[in-house]
Structure 1
Amino acid sequence: MRVFLAGATGAVGRLLVPELVAAGHQVTGLIRRPEAASGLRSQGADSVLADVYDASAVAAAVAAAAPDVVMHQLTDLANQNYAGNMEIRRTGTRNLVDAAAAAGVRKVIAQSIAWAYAPTDDVPATPAATAPGPAPASAPATTTTTPAPAPATEQDPLDLRAEGARRQTVAAVGALEDIVAEAPEWVVLRYGLFYGPGTWYAKGGLMDDAVRAGKVVPNADVTSFLHIEDAATAAVQALEWPTGPVNIVDDEPAAGTAWVPTFARSVGAPEPEPVDSERTPWARGADNHYARKHLKWTPRYPSWRDGFVA
């Protein structure tokens, strides 16, 4: 299969390219800097130089590559550039999907996030009759003493009525997903919070510094994590998946009171003191039952407990 990969040199892309090549796919990576070409070439991939914000250049690049699939793994978070990341989700996605349509590409796969879901009542999870695939399992237990919230399934709505900065983030995510859904076939990978090499959650990363500075509070908010290697593996498998959104998260949504001390120990930082607080309603994690049981995706790191240490 011929794959046009936008974001080939990012945190996911660096691991994804060799996996795609090893699986027998022909990869063309979209790059912004000429010097990135040699790295892709060493991984067995071709490259094309274009700015994702230049619609005509992207269209020409996709047409020249003549791919079977366009894959969007672009982000702009190297310097905590949240505005830039939202712009890539809107304009970058628009240009890629338009280019795919013009070139007759039927399938588009794109990176999204699993923490843009709307809040729900703080009750144990129950099977969702309308969820894709088999009914989701109950949320794994955490170390908190309060009941575990129901993790989000793919059928839950996005939090489009959120306020403040979250509203802007979710709106950009919604725009990305709506644009991708214009393709005849599409998969939106709703990734959990990345950790591992090249991410913020790694030794020497942004969150290592933050936890040492006392800026990471062990509270009741629930997060779903994902090792960066598992993000790449899911993207390869998504080439064969049916149309729709898929939660790509590990098996254990966790409250900050559980994961923050473990993360601190894994990077050799002092463990912050937990705080007694109410959970933010939308901070409930996500359910991976559909990906695991229906699509047969198996994470190498089923829990952040082992993944942080590894």
Structure 2
Amino acid sequence: MRIFLAGATGAVGRLLLPMLLDAGHEVTGTSRTPAGVARIQQQGAAAVAVDALDAEGLRHALVAAEPDLVMHQLTDLSGADGAANGRLRHLGTRHLVDAAHAAGVQRIVAQSISWAYAPGEGPADESVPLDHRADQPRGQMVAAVNALEETAAELSTAVVLRYGILYGPGTWYAPDGPVAAALSGDPTARFLGSVEADRSVSSFLHVADAARAAVAALDWPGGPVNIVDDEPAEAREWLPLLAASFGVPAPEPVSGRQAWARGATQQLARSRGWRPEHSTWRTGFTGPGFTDL
């Protein structure tokens, strides 16, 4: 299969690219920088320098690649700027889908998130609506996720992977990432999240399992699919273990819970044969794959 991998040098994309090549696919990967283009080429794929916010440049690159499928792994998280990431979800996805139409491509696998669901009790499955009534700034994030998913669905087959909170190399939840800096008391640390040890529930996902799910999803039917590990957990459970893995003090446990922070189920993905190799954050935060692969 010929695959156009948008975001080939991101946290997921850089692991996904060699997996796709090893599976025998022909891949064209994108990066915004010359260093990223060189990295893609060194891995054995074709590469193109393009910004997803450049509609014409992206259309030209995708049409020239003549892919069978578009893989959307675009994010803009390096500056912890929610507006920038939302803009990429809105406009980047719009440009990517328009370019796919121009190239005659009708299949996309797109990265989304599993913590945009409406409030409720217990982990959310894919039938739960998104949190369209959320207050700001969460409301802007949910609107951007909704735009991404609705735009992707304009193609005949759109598989939307609602990833859990990513941890492992290259993510915010890595020993050299901004969460570790925030827990250590670094006043310059910036990330879009919380370090409160409350009863809010999260679902996690090792970044390598995210990449494996994207490979598995190449022939899945369209629609959203939660891609999370086996154990949703309260922050007062997982945060002390994460802090210990960083070698920093854990925040004191507090009461309270964000009503939307409920975690997610993964029965649908399991019914399609996907299983996370890192089945729980309990071992994921302390195993060798936490810092390297």
Decide: shared fold, TM above 0.5.
Answer: yes
Match of 1:259 among 238, 242, 245: 238
* Structure-2 residue corresponding to 1:173: 145
* Structure-2 residue corresponding to 1:39: 39
C-alpha deviation, 1:273, in angstroms: 1.4
One-letter identity of the residue aligned with 1:164: Q
C-alpha deviation, 1:268, in angstroms: 1.1
Match of 1:197 among 169, 172, 175: 169
More displaced stretch, 212-221 vs 159-168? 212-221
Deviations 1:255-291 (A, max 9, x none): 011000010111111122111x222111000001110
* Structure-1 residue corresponding to 2:282: 305
**2: CA distance, partners of 1:109 / 1:290:** 16
* Structure-2 residue corresponding to 1:285: 263
Q: Does 1:245 align with 2:224?
A: yes
Structure 1 unaligned spans of 5+: 123-149
C-alpha deviation, 1:34, in angstroms: 2.1
**1: CA distance, partners of 2:247 / 2:277:** 23
C-alpha deviation, 1:66, in angstroms: 0.2
Deviations 1:95-127 (A, max 9, x none): 00010011110101111000000011x3xxxxx
**2: CA distance, partners of 1:52 / 1:289:** 33
User: Following superposition of structure 1 onto structure 2, how do residues 93-104 of structure 1 map, counting pairs within 5 Å?
Assistant: 93-104=93-104
Deviations 1:177-206 (A, max 9, x none): 000000011100000001000111111211
Q: Is contact 2:200–2:234 with CA below 8 Å preserved after alignment?
A: yes
Q: Does 1:228 align with 2:203?
A: no
Deviations 1:195-220 (A, max 9, x none): 00011111121111111229722100
**1: CA distance, partners of 2:94 / 2:67:** 17
Q: Is contact 2:30–2:37 with CA below 8 Å preserved after alignment?
A: no
* Structure-1 residue corresponding to 2:190: none
**2: CA distance, partners of 1:178 / 1:58:** 20
**2: CA distance, partners of 1:218 / 1:187:** 34
* Structure-1 residue corresponding to 2:250: 271
* Structure-2 residue corresponding to 1:19: 19
**2: CA distance, partners of 1:271 / 1:56:** 48
More displaced stretch, 37-46 vs 10-19? 37-46
* Structure-2 residue corresponding to 1:88: 88
* Structure-1 residue corresponding to 2:290: none
Match of 1:295 among 265, 272, 292: 272
Deviations 1:211-250 (A, max 9, x none): 1229722100000000000000001111011111000000
User: Following superposition of structure 1 onto structure 2, how do residues 70-89 of structure 1 map, counting pairs within 5 Å?
Assistant: 70-89=70-89
C-alpha deviation, 1:37, in angstroms: 2.0
Superposition TM-score, scaled by structure 1 size: 0.89
Q: Does 1:58 align with 2:37?
A: no
Helix, strand or coil at the partner of 2:276: coil
Helix, strand or coil at the partner of 1:219: coil
Superposition TM-score, scaled by structure 2 size: 0.94
Q: Does 1:8 align with 2:8?
A: yes
**2: CA distance, partners of 1:219 / 1:304:** 17
Match of 1:162 among 117, 134, 150: 134
**2: CA distance, partners of 1:274 / 1:104:** 53
**1: CA distance, partners of 2:185 / 2:111:** 30
Aligned-CA RMSD value: 1.1
Match of 1:213 among 177, 185, 189: 185
Structure 1 runs of 4+ with >3 Å offset = none
Helix, strand or coil at the partner of 1:10: coil
One-letter identity of the residue aligned with 1:95: H
* Structure-2 residue corresponding to 1:134: none
Deviations 1:119-154 (A, max 9, x none): 11x3xxxxxxxxxxxxxxxxxxxxxxxxxxx10001
**1: CA distance, partners of 2:239 / 2:148:** 30
**2: CA distance, partners of 1:101 / 1:18:** 27
